[in-house]
A and B are shown apart, each in its own frame.
Chain A
Amino acid sequence: MSVLDSKVPKGPIKDKWSNYKDHINLVNPANKRNIDVIVVGTGLAGGSAAATLAELGYNVKAFAYQDSPRRAHSIAAQGGINAAKNYQGDGDSTYRLFYDTVKGGDYRSREANVYRLAEVSANIIDQCVAQGVPFARDYGGLLDNRSFGGVLVSRTFYAKGQTGQQLLLGAYSAMNRQIARGKIEMFNRHEMLDVVLVDGKARGIITRNLITGEIERHSAHAVVIGTGGYGNVYFLSTNAMGSNATAAWKIHKKGAFFANPCYTQIHPTCIPRSGDYQSKLTLMSESLRNDGRIWVPAKIEDAKAIQQGKLKPTQIAEADRDYYLERRYPAFGNLVPRDVASRAAKERCDAGFGVNATGEAVYLDFAAAINRYGKEQAKIQGISNPSEAKVYELGQAIVEAKYGNLFQMYEKIVDENPYKTPMMIYPATHYTMGGVWVDYNLMTTVPGLYCIGEANFSDHGANRLGASALMQGLADGYFVLPYTIGDYLSDDIRTGKIPTDTPEFDEVEKAVKDKIDFFLNNDGTKSVDHFHKRLGKVMWEKVGMSRNAKGLTEAMAEIKAIREEFWKEVKVPGSGNEMNLELEKAGRVADFLELGELFAKDALVREESCGGHFREESAETDGPQKGEAKRNDKDFAFVSAWEYKGEPADAILHKEELEFNDIELKQRSYK
């Protein structure tokens, strides 16, 4: 048997969570006052966890590298959050959300976790409304919904194009209330650089104060990691510049298994890159696929003319456009899941039909939506025979009300008016389904060490559906971890404060300091970004949207070589006892250089296509699904959990076999 124990409770799936809650150990309020919990990260996951644990009475220490918890990258989420409220009466239910998520994840997630997620989803919306989150409403004053990819119901709640911002401000306000009460001690501009284990249990962390450079020790009875995803391993992604894998990777090196690193989401609707100086990519929310139609020219000569700037998209007749998603997937059309949409865009662009100078872009067109809404409005407003201009004006107003901030963002970056000419989009790295392995309790393979939000390997299997990350982050933080951690901490009521003047802390702190000294004294010749960009290029080309054994083997060797050169040649100016942004980056890139190799290794071992992981060797060769990804349930229905053994290439694979009792395994079809 595997050393992995998922600790999924017994019983029928719909009773598991309530039975579990009824039978766990609780910590009484007086004892909670004697228990400290460290929460690293203040995004939706960490922020909601910190606030809830403090409300329950634990002493919480929370950490973020930004200057305020509210600036965590969750702030950038645009489109929305799912919940099985069935407010639209369109047949939604807990089961359906559960089913869609497992199917969307291409049957590579743990059923029991996903069911629990679907179960608590409705509570999230209640909670957020009570906190004052200004979700969009209809004219009757009730909450509005929209649809996201991969589903046939409208279950996504949103606050304009700034849902993540509003949800995070909600969690942040709950944190502020606890900071004011002294129940959360907030450490802004602090970066966790390692975890400290005492007798095999997580009992503290070592941090660097990013203003003074001071290395600090913090102890607690349990440590929670909610530090987000590792998409920046690609250098270019939609993540924030500071998003990093350091906390997750450091705990991996201390015994936490790392699961499914190769499951990465390449999001189909991002603004294409424009030049080598590019520092990050910008997402255009998936919600745009509710109304935008994706196309490329049907004729190769039109595509060439567009690439050379000789033809404009608006000059191409309707009949000469290839709405390839509608063509290939009539049932879901433009709302197929992200992995499918991204590969379809790549397929068209690889075939030469891309629409900007680089040939790496497709159109997202709102003309039809503007026309449709315009006509509808004209009718509502009783305007008979409206002119084309009037229809356009009315339609534009509706589109603007729905997506105004996204259109503005696009125009600021690309310098083109997306109301007048179609947007150009291309896939970009966006989210990482892989992450630290956790059991049903969200505990890692290290006792007392928890991992929540995007940082864990989570509930999304091999592909996350839109609007499900926000749901998972808040579910973990508000509703799951507060129960499961109590069960663990009930053993610690007599432990007393964990001292920091112990050999365990000495040792880890020394290692952290030595590493910093190494960087500052290394006298290399190349900047940190130089290496990060090279790593990103290998990742994108060989471990990107489409992968094969040869490319992956090369990638492992190339990443290793870059890593070795990095340690010889990296140059970090400045000193350690001050704000030093290059030093911060150096530590993060060092970890990406290890994670990247494990990522490629994981992709190599998984000789099947599933979700965001597409192996060219594993595609349907004929029939109606020709060219589509081919999953191999017989050999690969497991979670890959990697144990650290020094070099990333030496990591040991442990398998958590996935059981599907409530959902039948099927080929995912969106046709």
Chain B
Amino acid sequence: MNLTLKIWRQKDSKTKGQMVDYKVTDISEHMSFLEMMDVLNEQLVNSGDEPIAFDHDCREGICGMCSMYINGEAHGPDRGVTTCQLHMRMFKDGDTITIEPWRAKAFPVIKDLVVDRMSFERIQQAGAYISVNTSGNTQDANSLPISKHAADEAMDAATCIGCGACVATCKNSSAMLFVGAKVSQYALLPQGQVEAVDRVKNMVAQMDLEGFGNCTNTGACEIECPKGISLENIARMNREFLKASLKG
């Protein structure tokens, strides 16, 4: 198929960006979206132009690097996939595709489609861990039975890949789904209880500091999240936060 691409180009964080039109031809429906971008970039390099910078690494939906806002949707039109897992069979010959970076105050653009997600790092540094030394002198793993249900639920929360699609999708640029998932993983496990109060308070405080918006329960994040992180995690974080506030 032949396509018209409208892509955000921005030299660096200080320069203003703009949408630029490109054409690609002979795109196979079996290609992944990023392979289509490879074709365009090869074309640009061959004609002596600068290729489009975009983040990607694993190309199998797990590292959380890739981050494109395609036709007004984070990770594009398919559901339950990252940009790298999106395939061209979702598009048809003659389509025009708009490709932008994540847009949020807390995710400044670095170049073209690459954004800075260090705010997510700092939120996790504020408390997304259990303070146990890696000495190996811990108790036997099976001395602490954990119900399968709790373990599975913690796992569901822990599958968040930290991509930031939830923020990019949210009209308020709220990071509640991401932070909710991180808080939930620990809240659901007995190992997480000791530091529960400080963890949720510190992480929420850091989230506010970073300039993410408030949650107004629109639920768009859950729909666009490639890993199916549910809104239940936000509710759980709110409960944890309330509990923590009451404990002072």
Chain A interface (Cβ < 8 Å from any Cβ of B): 48, 51-52, 55, 66-68, 70-71, 73, 75-76, 85, 87, 120, 123-132, 134-143, 159-160, 162, 165-166, 169, 172-174, 176-177, 179-180, 186, 188, 211, 240-242, 274-275, 277-280, 282-283, 408-409, 412-413, 415, 478-479, 527, 529, 571, 573-574, 578-579, 581-582
Contacts and interface: CB of A to CB of B under 8 A. Distances in A.
A313 B135 CA distance: 52
B6 interface: no
Interface string B159-172: 10110000000000
Contacts of A574: 50
B63 A66 contact: yes
Contact of A66 (B65, B89, B129, B192): B65
Nearest to A181: B125
Contact of A173 (B81, B129, B144): B129
A166 B155 contact: yes
Interface residues of B, number: 79
A85 B89 contact: no
Interface string B177-204: 0000000011001011000000000000
A166 B199 CA distance: 19
Nearest to B191: A132
B216 interface: no
Contacts of A131: 129-130, 132, 134, 191
Interface in B28-72: 28, 30-32, 34-35, 38-39, 42, 44-46, 48-51, 53, 55-65
Given A130-B130, A176-B125, A241-B57, A141 B146 contact: yes
Nearest to A53: B134
Contacts of B218: none
Smallest CB-CB A-B distances: 4 pairs: A141-B145, A173-B129, A123-B136, A130-B138
Nearest to B85: A412
Given A55-B134, A137-B146, A280 B59 contact: yes
B121 A68 contact: yes
B61 A409 contact: yes
A166 B142 contact: no
Contact of B59 (A66, A169, A240): A240
Contacts of A75: 58, 62-64
Interface string B126-158: 101111111110111110111110011011001
Nearest to B86: A412
Interface of B: 11-12, 28, 30-32, 34-35, 38-39, 42, 44-46, 48-51, 53, 55-65, 78, 80-81, 85, 87, 89, 110-111, 114, 116-118, 120-121, 124-126, 128-136, 138-142, 144-148, 151-152, 154-155, 158-159, 161-162, 185-186, 189, 191-192
B148 A179 contact: no
8 contacts: A67-B65, A68-B64, A126-B136, A166-B155, A177-B125, A275-B28, A277-B38, A571-B46
Residue of A70, A130, A180, A529 most packed against chain B (CB within 10 A) = A130
Contact of B58 (A48, A76, A135, A177): A76
B151 A136 contact: yes
Given A177-B129, A409-B60, A478-B136, A279 B65 contact: no
A439 B133 CA distance: 27
Contacts of A67: 55, 65, 116-118
A275 to B, nearest CB: 6
Contacts of B141: 85, 125-126, 128-129, 135, 143
Contact of B35 (A48, A71, A85, A277): A277
B125 A279 contact: no
A527 B136 contact: no
Given A67-B117, A578-B111, A130 B35 contact: no
Contacts of B135: 52, 55
Contacts of A125: 141
Given A73-B63, A579-B53, 6 more contacts: A71-B64, A76-B58, A130-B138, A134-B185, A241-B58, A573-B44
Nearest to A162: B159
B110 A579 contact: yes
Contact of A415 (B12, B45, B55, B89): B89
A143 B142 contact: yes
B243 to A, nearest CB: 19
A279 B59 contact: yes
B129 A176 contact: yes
A412 B87 contact: yes
Contacts of A242: 57
A127 B145 CA distance: 15
Contact of A134 (B64, B85, B129, B155): B155
Given A130-B191, A134-B155, A160-B155, A71 B57 contact: yes
Given A188-B121, A412-B85, A571-B45, A578 B12 contact: yes
Contacts of A138: 148
Nearest to B115: A67
Contacts of B132: 130-131
A126 B128 contact: no
